Structure 1
Amino acid sequence: MSDATTLCDIGLIGLGVMGKNIGLNLADNGYKVAAFDLNEKSVQAIAHQDETERGAQQDARILPVKSLGEMLEKIKKPSIIILSVPAGKPVDIICSQLLELGLQQDDIVVDTGNSLWTDTVEREAGYNGKFVFFSCAVSGGEVGARFGPSLMPSGDKNAWSRLEPVLEAISAKVDPETGLPNARNSYTEALPTGEPCVTYIGPAGAGHYVKMVHNGIEYADMQLICEAYQYMREALGLQPKEIAAVLREWNKGELNSYLIEISAEVLDQDDPETGKPIVDIILDRAGQKGTGLWTAVSSLQVGSAATTIAQSVFCRALSSIKDERVAASKIFSKAPALNLSEDEKKAQIKQLHDALYCAKMCAYAQGFDLMKRAAKEQGWDLDFAEIAKIWRAGCIIRAVFLQSITKAYQRDAQLENLLLDEFFAEQIKQFEPAWREAVINSIKAGITMPTITSSLSYFDAYRNATLPANLLQGQRDFFGAHTFQRVDKPTEETYHLEWSQADRPLVRIQ
């Protein structure tokens, strides 16, 4: 048995990209970690990196262990164990093994993987009384995990009270006044101060649901940028490095974000082997791990019109049929190339900027609307101002205008839709004309901008007091007697018209 003074504070299982960096982040913040992975090389790698970073003269911050049993022996009781393993069966396999090894009722197991939120709900219920199963969704990728991610914890409130100081310590930090990240990019730098990018989201599953929507917005945001890139490349004839310069200019204003920043970096990079722009060497077939799909499916299930997010998932599906697209390109010719002056190109680049900004606002509005509707269905009390706050740094969709989203929900916690906030309404009014021109230009040029166009259709439908659903309801009643409501009668009353009869009597159903 280990001496209590030498025991580790936390057990860490899973030392892949995310797990290893979470472990080193914990160590930077003063926590001693017992680290385990089925791959012994991964265990030795984190121990070696810990030694390299802290120096041989200082005590080890990360203790490599060879088994789960050894890990349980080396950590303080009641235990805090963090899982960073693939979502699905691996989570349950490890939990079962820990139970067999003597996990106790007051021990906490924290799932930090990209688990489906309904699985998290089932796990908390299934392990209740055996140990405390808690979830903490993580966003920020490798660098975020290492130097400060955005964290979305949910589950037992008592467990949260124990975990709060740990998670606040390792999370990203922002300046509370500006909303800008207080970044830390190296282990040699001082630990950042500011508001931590972590807040208790709610009961089991709520955190993973919010992370799922975050990833859905991420899908949309990435696709929006890609569409602007393709138009500049194909319609305006700009080279990747020229587009990188445009994005860097955009990053100084309303579009400032991590995704714009890294897109410029990608476009500026040459292939080490050929010397060509790396973007021209990368195969145009996009992968996905499911969270965007889950978001789109959930939007359909709860009746939230997350059309931009769903369209971004469809775009990845279209990208996957590369051979078919190549075959189609040989049958159908492209629209004639544009012959524009430099001033006309500059004008269209400005229109693209405005279109991207407006579409981005719609994507975020859809994401928050989806969370609102899901929360109502599940009985969650989500704080949207806090959610926007924790996305200002650390996560993939971090952007300067999340500060504006935070303020919008601080002004009105019950805001029905982000586009109804006075700030965002004025922004849309200001940039809408250019948005329309950009969509028109893309159609004329035959260059697809599906998410930017879908966002405009979403906006036009949302702002329209009367939609053609009245005709649709007439169609449904005609062929299926599905009934309809009337604009001149109470909405709780429904009617059916006997369409096939000569006199067509109107029948009130209820």
Structure 2
Amino acid sequence: MTQAQIGVYGLGTMGSALALNMAGHGFEVAVTNREIDWIAPFIADAGDLAARLHPHNKLADFVADLKTPRVILFMIPSGAPMDMMIDQITPLLESGDTIIDGGNANFHDTRRRSKTLKDKDIHFVGMGVSGGEKGARHGPSMMVGGTEHSWHQLRPILRAIAATYQDNPCVDHLGPDGAGHFVKTVHNGVEYADMQVIAELYGLLRYGSAWPPSDIGKLFEEWDKGPLKSYLVEITGKVLQYTDPFSGHAVVDVIKDAAGQKGTGRWTVVEAVRMGQSTNMIEAAVGARAWSAEKETRQEMQNHFGGARDWFTVDPGVLADAFLAARILCYAQGFRILDAASKEYDWALDMGRIAEIWRAGCIIRSALLDDISEAFADQPPHSQLILSPKFTETLARTIPALRTVVSAAVTGGHAIPALSSALNWFDTMRQGFGTANIIQAQRDFFGYHGFERLGEDGQHHGPWWD
């Protein structure tokens, strides 16, 4: 039997889709699963692709079927399950073999595992995969972190199965150890914020302007034809026009307004704060999801204080411009966090290439990413996306619309945590002389912390200590 070129452990939604994608591109793929009764049905459903799939019930047989140096992709839950599988499979591996964690792992875990396995000359790759089941099956966006040795092994397979944008595969080696998983974490943080902005715009139209969901969906369809074109805008336009077959109401109206989250958005916020940064749009989105889960509390609050259903009248064109401004600021915050991490961990992340990888296959793919890639190629001042000529021009045109929307929403009592955070960040960053001087004075007064004087070196103290 021909030996497999790669092994896939974990035949859940994503693992099975990736295995079929690889087989469909002509690769020999060994497969196995912790619950072995999943294996036979997977092979039976694979149709003609089953000829390139090598099923194994035992881990030792799975490993033995792989060409050396071996490449093994784990598509299993992150955390303890991954550590457990590393412990089980490591004794079966040899020098130069590569293990890949394709889940949404915490990049600190990836860095730890990379260091531990390096001592055994086994390579560990943290690979972010975006695009959901459909993307995994037909072309995901993939963010790879690991050694050059591993990338040399993986490159032919991953470039073949990745989504493409103008014939450019949406996958690349971004740096060592946890680089790939960190980029995926920030990708998900941006996803949280973009989804929250969309939800807020929907809410303003639905509850502030009494638009039926189907009409809002049609507006999103129109937006998807212009500069706001994106996967999330596209699917929002679709879901808002579906009717629930049981009640006859719009589907969105029968869905409980409590959003779940799996942690990557929180990780983005935690890492940003730990590095002395802030991504307040993602913070707002994470907070909004947490608040959404407290439905009983919110209903009681409404009984006491009334719900926000005051009239909201803003032209859809103004809403579109506000949306564009907020989306630019959202991406800008995400890339700031990537830049900070790149410096802290010496990853040398290529921001333009990351933008290119996100142009197809992933959840946050959008028309803006072409402009973002070009902006980073031109090296914007201070590496800040909002200072690139194209985006300064666009923001100058669209920020007034964002200000109009935020003002009208706040006046009407409508909750817009992400939109208002976007505007607050922009207004803070455009103040060449801010208000932190009074904070420094306070800190020195109560704690003798000292401060810098304008135009002078060193630490100084106020006259209150004389």
Q: TM-score range by the shorter chain?
A: over 0.9
CA distance in 1, matches of 2:460, 2:199: 47
RMSD: 1.5
Question: Aligned pair 1:235/2:208, yes or no?
Answer: yes
Shift of 1:42: 2.5
Alignment match of 2:105 (pick from 112, 115, 119)? 115
In 1, Cα distance between the equivalents of 2:38 and 2:249? 35
Deviation per CA, 1:22-53: give whole Å up to 9, x if none: 001101111111111122343123212222x5
For the 8 Å contact 1:26–1:170, the answer to whether it is kept is: yes
SS at match of 2:330: helix
Give the Cα–Cα distance (whole angstroms) in 2 for the partners of residues 198 and 470 of structure 1: 45
Q: Which amino acid aligns with 1:362?
A: L
Q: Aligned ranges for residues 428-443 of structure 1 at < 5 Å?
A: 428-443=395-410
Q: 2:462 corresponds to which residue?
A: 497
**Change in 2 beyond 3 A, CA 1:248/1:425:** same
1:446 counterpart residue number: 413
Q: Deviations for 1:83-131, whole angstroms, at most 9, x for unmatched residues? A: 001001111111111123x211111111111110010010011111432
Query: Which residue number corresponds to residue 73 of structure 1?
Result: 64
Conserved in 1, the CA contact under 8 Å of 2:3 and 2:65? Answer: yes
Q: Which amino acid aligns with 1:385?
A: G
8 Å Cα contact 1:10-1:75 kept in structure 2: yes
Q: Select 1:417's aligned residue among 366, 378, 384.
A: 384
Question: What per-residue deviation string (whole Å, max 9, x for no partner) do you get for residues 365-403 of structure 1?
Answer: 011001111111111111011000000001110001100
Closer/same/farther in 2, CA of residues 162 and 414 from structure 1, 3 Å limit = farther
Aligned length: 465
Query: CA offsets per residue over residues 129-173 of structure 1, 9 Å max, x none?
Result: 432212211111111111111111111111111111111111100
Equivalent in 286, 293, 316 of residue 313 of structure 1: 286
Given the alignment, which residue of 42, 45, 52 partners 1:49? 45
3-state DSSP class of the match of 2:128? strand
Task: Confirm or deny that 1:16 pairs with 2:7.
Answer: no
Displacement of 1:413 in angstroms is 6.9
Partner Cα separation in structure 2 for residue 398 and residue 195 of structure 1: 14
Q: Pairwise mapping of residues 35-184 of structure 1 onto structure 2 (< 5 A)? A: 35-51=31-47, 54=49, 60-100=51-91, 102-130=92-120, 131-175=122-166
Which region of structure 1 is more displaced relative to structure 2, 227-236 or 268-277? 268-277
Q: Who wins on radius of gyration, i.e. which is larger?
A: 1
Instruction: Give the equivalent residue in structure 2 for 1:180.
Output: none
Aligned to 1:210, which of 163, 173, 183?
183
For residue 28 of structure 2, the aligned residue among 32, 39, 44 is: 32
- 3-state SS in 2 of match to 1:11: strand
Displacement, 1:7? Answer: 1.6
Contact 1:439 1:452 in 2 (8 A): yes
Matched-pair contact (CA < 8 Å) for 2:381–2:387 = no
- Structure 1 residues 335 and 397, CA gap change in structure 2 (3 angstroms): closer
Corresponding residue of 1:288: 261
In the TM superposition, what is the alpha-carbon distance from 1:473 to its structure 2 partner?
Answer: 0.9
- 1:174: Cα distance to partner? 0.5
CA shift, 1:234, in A, is: 0.5
Deviations 1:276-310 (A, max 9, x none): 11111111111111000000011101122211111
> Aligned in 2, Cα 1:144/1:429: closer, same or farther, shift over 3 Å?
same
SS at match of 2:383: coil
8 Å Cα contact 2:375/2:385 also seen in 1: yes
Q: Distance in 1 between matches of 2:66 and 2:245?
A: 46
1:271 matched to 2:236: no
Letter in 2 for 1:495: H
Secondary structure at the aligned position of 2:329 is classed as helix
- Could you tell me which residue of structure 2 aligns to residue 181 of structure 1? none
State the 1:337 CA deviation.
Answer: 3.3
- Higher alpha-carbon deviation: 116-125 or 405-414: 405-414
Paired with 1:414 and 1:307, the residues of 2 have a C-alpha distance of 22
Deviation of 1:416 after TM superposition, in Å, equals 2.1
Give the conservation status (yes or no) of the 8 Å contact 1:240–1:267. yes
Identity %: 39
Letter matched to residue 351 of structure 1:
V
Inter-partner Cα distance in structure 2 for 1:334 and 1:66:
57
Give unpaired runs (5+ residues) of structure 1. 176-193, 506-510
Q: How do 1:304-453 and structure 2 match up within 5 A?
A: 304-334=277-307, 337-338=310-311, 345=313, 347-412=314-379, 415-453=382-420
Q: CA deviation at 1:358?
A: 0.6
**Which amino acid counterpart does residue 36 of structure 1 have in structure 2?**
T
Residue 174 of structure 2 aligns to a residue whose secondary structure is: coil
| Conserved 8 A contact 2:376-2:383 | no
The one-character-per-residue Cα deviations of 1:446-491 (angstroms, maximum 9, x if unpaired) are 111110011000000011101110111111111111111111x32x
Aligned-pair CA distance for 1:21: 0.4
- TM-score, length-scaled by structure 2: 0.97
TM-score by length of 1: 0.89
Q: Residue type of the partner of 2:392?
A: A
Question: For the residues of structure 2 that align with 1:430 and 1:281, how far apart are their CA atoms?
Answer: 38
Instruction: Assess, with a 3 A threshold, how the Cα gap between structure 1 residues 335 and 224 changes in structure 2: closer, same or farther.
Output: closer
Displacement of 1:335: 5.1
Segments of 5+ residues of structure 2 without an aligned counterpart are: none
Structure 1 segments (4+ residues) deviating >6 Å? none
